[in-house]
Amino acid sequence: MTEHLASFPVLSCMLLAPPLGLFVLLFLKEEQQFLIRVVSLVAAGISFALSIYTFAAYDQKLGGLQFVEKYEWVKTFGITYFVGVEGMNAPLLLLTGIVIFTGVLTMWELQDRVKEYFIFQLALVTGVFGVFMSYDMFFFFLFYEIAVVPMYILILIWGSTRKIYAAMKLTLYLMAGSGLIIPGILLLYASSGIFTFDMVRLHAVQFAPWVQKLTFVMMYLGFGVLAGVWPFHTWSPVGHVAAPTAVSMLHAGVLMKLGSFAILRVAMYLCPQGFQYWAQLMGLLAATGIVYGVFVGLAQTDLKYVIGYSSVSHMGIVGLGLATGTVDGLNGAVFQMFAHGVMTALFFSAVGFIYDRTHTRDIHELGGFSKIMPVASAFFITAALCGAGVPGMASFWAELLVLVAAVKVFTVRGLFAIAALVIGALFALRVVQNTFFNEPNPKFIHYEDVSPFLGLPRMILIGFMIFFGIFPQVMVGLIKTSIIPFIQGL
């Protein structure tokens, strides 16, 4: 892979803006709530702006790794600070920027322990940015854990619905995944013979087949826990339901992508033979996840559970795309990570607003909610349409790419997945109807609709969703620049 050094440390700035904001927050008083929010918003905004910049400024003709920064960190153990951008992580950095920025705006009304909330949220997002840009496995894993652990506290304190249980379950599941990842990473490190954590250099090493098979399956399962791969997904609906709005957004929107991105970036990239060996299993689990997520989601009456299970099925699409190992499949998988991220963020953001007012997420209790809060409902309905894969939305193209590739490679599984998604789409419309277009519940009549300021984050999300729905080529073209060399390396 060609590496183009950065003239200005854009990525480091993107990475360091949140912790810098965090540091400033430490010296603010709990009472200065407005200042706390502004500082968090500025920190998130800087990262957001820089993520747009890298997305737009990435030179597609040049290709390869751009904005590279590389410093030796611990020479004795072969650790380097190595960050860069290529076609497959640029969309995800952008996604993280979008979700954190809108997430801070969504939590604008938070009253309880505001300072601590934003401290942990900024810590978490630092980890997410770090994972997406790191090309050194030490830092990759370091940021991965930073992204996972603050979740515990965020859910525990600002969450709802069985939060104590959910927080512990989520953390233990994800850390159990880490327990598989560490030996996997270190096995590659030790058996490479060059004792480096640098992924690009490790990629050049031909690992023995058994090492690849063993490492791949450990990393697939370990990262798969976070990616919500069936049957290791059970933490995710529970966790999403319990988490506060912005954390659900970050978590379903971005964190789960860490898992699937890591499978692509670390496991598949470094162990191509291992991937070939386990591809069938990946395809099977992914297809099962799609079908399972759709049908279990149908039975839910809590809106957040509906979204939680739809995430399982949508992440199944990502997994299916990865398992095909074809250009279209991987393109679609990365696109789907982005599209699903924006979509779920919108989902949770919309539900969060409704829940903050009504304190219920029960479909039947909400009844004809669109008559009470037309704008808030519209946000949810847009997300639902996107989730159903309506053309004109970003996820339509992503799902299309994946499913076409899947039918070619795994015909039966692909067809099952398509059937499940179609049924899922029908039922999603029914959920929308039951929640928003029945008789309105008189209890909620007096509630105000979303103000323009609070609507802003949702508008941003919808904007991105539709923009990439209308111009999918912008995204696909960019992703392709890295997927084609990637496939050749497999």
Would you tell me which residues interact with other proteins (CB under 8 A)?
A: 73-77, 113, 116, 138, 141-143, 145-146, 149, 152-153, 156-157, 164, 168, 171-172, 175-176, 178-180, 182-183, 186-187, 189-190, 195
Distance of CA 358 to the CA centre of its chain: 28
Q: How far is the CB of 145 from other proteins (least distance, A)?
A: 5
d(CA 324, CA 238): 29
Q: How far is the CB of 183 from other proteins (least distance, A)?
A: 5
Q: How far is the CB of 146 from other proteins (least distance, A)?
A: 5
Nearer to other proteins, 156 or 375 (CB): 156
Q: How far is the CB of 50 from other proteins (least distance, A)?
A: 21
First to last CA, the chain: 13
Nearer to other proteins, 188 or 330 (CB): 188
Q: How far is the CB of 144 from other proteins (least distance, A)?
A: 9
- H helix intervals, 299-326: 303-324
Token pair 């946000």 is found at 379
Nearer to other proteins, 8 or 27 (CB): 27
Q: Is 325 exposed, middle or buried (0-12, 13-18, 19+ CB in 10 A)?
A: buried
Q: How far is the CB of 262 from other proteins (least distance, A)?
A: 16
Strand pairing category for 65-74 and 79-85 = antiparallel
Nearer to other proteins, 155 or 385 (CB): 155
Token pair 């393109």 is found at 331
d(CA 262, CA 96): 15
Q: How far is the CB of 22 from other proteins (least distance, A)?
A: 11
Q: Of 115, 151, 150, 143, which Cα lies nearest the Cα of 40? A: 115
For the beta sheet containing 79-85, the strands, ordered from the edge strand earlier in sequence to the opposite edge, are: 3-5, 65-74, 79-85
- Residue 6 dihedral angles phi and psi, to the nearest 5°: -85, 140
Nearer to other proteins, 179 or 391 (CB): 179
Nearer to other proteins, 167 or 475 (CB): 167
Nearer to other proteins, 7 or 76 (CB): 76
d(CA 15, CA 216): 28
Q: Which two tokens stand for residue 421?
A: 């998604």
